[in-house]
Amino acid sequence: MKDWRGAETVFDWSFYSQGTKDQSSATSTFFLTAALEHFGDSDPGNGNDEDRAARLARLIGERRGVLVLDGLEPLQYPPGPMRGALKDKAMAALLHGLAGRNAGLCIVTTREKVSELDPHYGKCAIDHELDFLPPIDGARLLHHAGATRAGKVQISPEDAELQTASEEVQGHALTLFLIGQFLRLTEDGDIRRRDRMKLADAEKEYQNDATRPYGHAFKAIEAYATWFAAGDAQAQRQLAILRLLGLFDRPASAACLQALRAGPAIPGLTDALAGTRETEWKIALARLGEIKLVEANDDGDLDCHPLFREYFATRLLETNSTGFRDGHSRLFDFLCKDTEYRPETLRGLQPLYQAIKHGCFAGRQNEAFSSIYCDRIQRLEVYFSTQKLGAFGPCLEALAAFFDQAWDRLSSNLSEVVQTWLLHEAAFCLRALGRLVEARKLMLVCVERRAAYCHWSGASVSAANLSEIELTMGLLDEAVEHGRCAIAYADLSGDAFQQISNRPVTADALHHYFGVDSPEGDEAWSLFSEAEEMLMERQPEYLLRYSMRSFQHCDFILAPAERLAWRINAFDAGDEDVRRERQQCIDACTAISRRANQTFEIARMNHWLLDMALDHLMLGRVALYRGILTKIAPQTGTLEYESDLALDGLRNAGTKHMLSLALLTAAHVRHFLGQPEEARRLLDEAERISRRGPMPLHLADVHLHRARLFRDRAELAQAAALIHKHHYGRRFAELADAEEAAKVW
């Protein structure tokens, strides 16, 4: 759309449409692809979601464009401690980018105020509380849509009868437009005959249904459906098209619509379309377009208002459940057959994600799970979509289709084993997206279920993941407890890989809870060493030199160097003890550098996004600490290269719960290189992510970094409060060092 009130181009997207069963799984991934394509990006699918959001913000900000984001609340936290905050980090990046620079206009509609925009209100953002239309404005909308008197007698747009009609439907804009247009089409526009639409029945039908706050709109849509049903063959075709759109949760592609129209007819759904010529199909679409019920693009894709989709989906399920299932089943079969078997890009995978939803609505959950999600999207043990594309958001949206109510009740068509596996997968995706409270709740259920039926290997995996979630949430006592459970379950299972893998998880929890210089720190070292010895017996060429476990081990070894680097910054100490300690730390940095380079090669060969990013992060930290400890500045390119690759890599991996680690290192690096404002910006981003999680240990690190880099006593006080509150033992010694240094700030 061009030249709309001076705009060069307009793009709108409704997030409400992304889930008719449940809105908690909606993401911005496919919106970003469509919007980037619309605004002229050369490669809409390239990059992680946050990078793509930043590109979109730049594209929109450079021109007089209009972006409409309708129904944003599925991407926000519901009422509670995080009320209104964006769950979707890419959308947060987009809005922050547009707040910084926007030559056009971005319109957001939502029932929950977007908390990320709070700093911008009164500056570049305006907050409008939109109530239902007052009677006089509702009357004007009715008049504009066609409501008048019989015989088209002209009346004032502010006529009393029109105002009364507006009050009857509580000023709901869509309903008023539908009423005015319907009366123009069927009753010569006479507003006095609106009783034919039976709008008053909405009060009785929907007054106790909190999930349907659009009762009057549904009654208005029902009036159209009744009118079409009583009409000629052309009207029947128009009604059939509207029913087809009820099978979709977003615009229906021309190819999917063609598959539904093909024979044999689906009883009660496509009968009126069977055998129709292409000209008859186009005429029906044109007439629906004329009365603004549907909109077609140049490719033949068809869309309508989300409430129309919801109305016809609900009615079809209630009155023709067989047709509902058969329609979704046909779409499932078509998308499975029409899509490349194992696409290599996220864009190529999109039809398979869509197929899962249709398969679940068709009652074919087991096929959707095994044939599509496991085999073609995740590719069994490879975990292609998440591990190699970082597509946690789209996977979570697809997983929601297996739930009758996300994230509480799974389809009864699935076995208990599959249900538990899906719970674990959903928890894993939620964790990666930084939605830790939801992730922990599901992972607790997984541990309990798997332990209850003695699936010890699976229980060890779930317990290890639960420990890591709790560690990030600052629940250190629970993290240690579940880490010990992971070891116990692994030993019961006899699964050598889990026995090796889960010892570092517990060691990492002990490290954070008690620090290096403690009895528990000695236990942590023993667990790391034990795991490495066990692996040497089985894979001597690897020595635990891959995966997250290697990063945890290196992080433990590097802790003394990290502390000393900050101490030397603060005191410039140079006595013999410090020189000896410095040399030990430099030697540790050298050893870790060799190790990280080896593990990177393993990760690169397997294209493991997270592992490669963590290796870059460790190499960046080593280069930074070695530069500080030796007082020999490392090559600027090396520091920037490794820290930037770590940051980009963690963004690409889609693991929001670990992004703050790279942001903290990047901030330290930028300050070391004489770029304090860039360091502040990176720490601000880390703080936003940490607060959303919630990730209190990361937040404590943000405050501690600010305090030490910028000699800020207020930040030091906030760091101290969080460190003591969560018994963040790893930082006790560093906090004491900083408090001593602060005496001379």
CA-CA distance, 208 to 643, in Å (whole number)? 55
The CA-to-CA distance between both ends of the chain, in Å, stands at 58
CA-CA distance, 419 to 403, in Å (whole number)? 9
Identify the top-confidence range among 96-110, 152-166, 727-741.
Answer: 727-741
What band does 20 get if pLDDT is binned at 50, 70 and 90? very low
What band does 86 get if pLDDT is binned at 50, 70 and 90? confident
Nearest to 704 by CA among 120, 372, 545, 712: 712
Element (H, E) at 10: strand 9-14
Region 182-205: what's the mean pLDDT? Answer: 78
Region 249-253: what's the mean pLDDT? Answer: 89
Q: Tell me what pLDDT residue 157 has.
A: 85
Q: Tell me what pLDDT residue 22 has.
A: 47
Q: Tell me what pLDDT residue 636 has.
A: 60
User: pLDDT tens for residues 692-715?
Assistant: 879 999 999 999 999 999 999 999
User: pLDDT tens for residues 469-500?
Assistant: 999 999 999 999 999 999 999 999 999 889 99
Amino acid at 390: G
DSSP reduced 3-state for 172: coil
More confident residue, 65 or 448: 448
Region 459-467: what's the mean pLDDT? Answer: 96
User: pLDDT tens for residues 509-531?
Assistant: 999 999 998 999 999 999 999 99
- Compute the mean pLDDT over every residue in the chain, rounded to the nearest whole number: 87
User: pLDDT tens for residues 391-426?
Assistant: 898 999 999 999 998 788 899 999 999 999 999 999
More confident residue, 92 or 312: 312
Would you say residue 575 has pLDDT above 80? no
DSSP reduced 3-state for 108: strand
User: pLDDT tens for residues 139-170?
Assistant: 899 899 888 876 556 788 888 888 998 888 88
- Sorted by sequence, the CB contacts under 8 Å of residue 243 that are 6+ apart come out as 269, 312, 315, 316
CA dihedral (274, 279, 281, 282) in degrees, to 10, reads 170
What band does 547 get if pLDDT is binned at 50, 70 and 90? low
- Sorted by sequence, the CB contacts under 8 Å of residue 644 that are 6+ apart come out as 666
Q: Tell me what pLDDT residue 744 has.
A: 86
User: pLDDT tens for residues 48-75?
Assistant: 787 888 888 888 888 788 889 888 888 8
Region 264-284: what's the mean pLDDT? Answer: 92
Region 440-456: what's the mean pLDDT? Answer: 96
User: Is 316:359 a contact under the CB 8 Å cutoff?
Assistant: no
- CA angle 488–491–495, rounded 5-degree value: 130
Q: How many C-beta atoms surround the C-beta of residue 544 within 10 A? A: 24
CA-CA distance, 529 to 560, in Å (whole number)? 18
Q: What is the percentage of the chain residues whose pLDDT exceeds 70?
A: 92
Q: Tell me what pLDDT residue 415 has.
A: 94
Q: What is the percentage of the chain residues whose pLDDT exceeds 90?
A: 51
Cα–Cα distances in angstroms (integers) from residue 285 to residues 239, 504, 516, in the given order: 10, 61, 70
pTM comes to 0.82
Region 174-186: what's the mean pLDDT? Answer: 88
Q: Tell me what pLDDT residue 80 has.
A: 67
User: Is 262:244 a contact under the CB 8 Å cutoff?
Assistant: no
Tokens at 230, concatenated: 């009583």
Phi, psi of 26, deg, nearest 5 = -65, 145
